[in-house]
Amino acid sequence: MRGDWDLGAAARGPLLLCAALLAVGCALGLRLGRGLGAADRGALAWLCFDALVHFALEGPFVYLSLVGNITDSDALIASLCISYRSPCVCVNCMAGG
């Protein structure tokens, strides 16, 4: 049964990052939502988590998409594309040659 849940070393980093963003987002939302009802605090915690995900994960991807392409980049977001596909079949890599 344990072999079915083995994600490998490549998945540990992104899962830890997501867990950290979730913890920070919930803590921030609950702290900002003092004095509100439970449903409002929960919604605020979700919105804080969602904002952190947009800034931390989607922001760099948009920036890299605007200033270059994935094949010429050494950034973390670019390595996610290249590490899982050999050869890479994403739109940016196919357009670059």
Residue whose pair of structure tokens reads 């867990």 in the numeric block: 19
Residue 85 pLDDT > 50, yes or no?
no
Phi and psi at 89, nearest 5°, equal -120, 20
CA torsion 54-83-97-55 (nearest 10°) is 10
pLDDT of res. 55: 87
- Tens of pLDDT, residue by residue over 52-77, are 988 887 887 787 777 766 666 666 65
Confidence at 84, pLDDT banded by 50, 70, 90: very low
- Tens of pLDDT, residue by residue over 31-54, are 888 888 989 999 999 999 999 988
pTM: 0.59
- With 0-12 CB in 10 A as exposed, 13-18 as middle and 19+ as buried, what is 45? buried
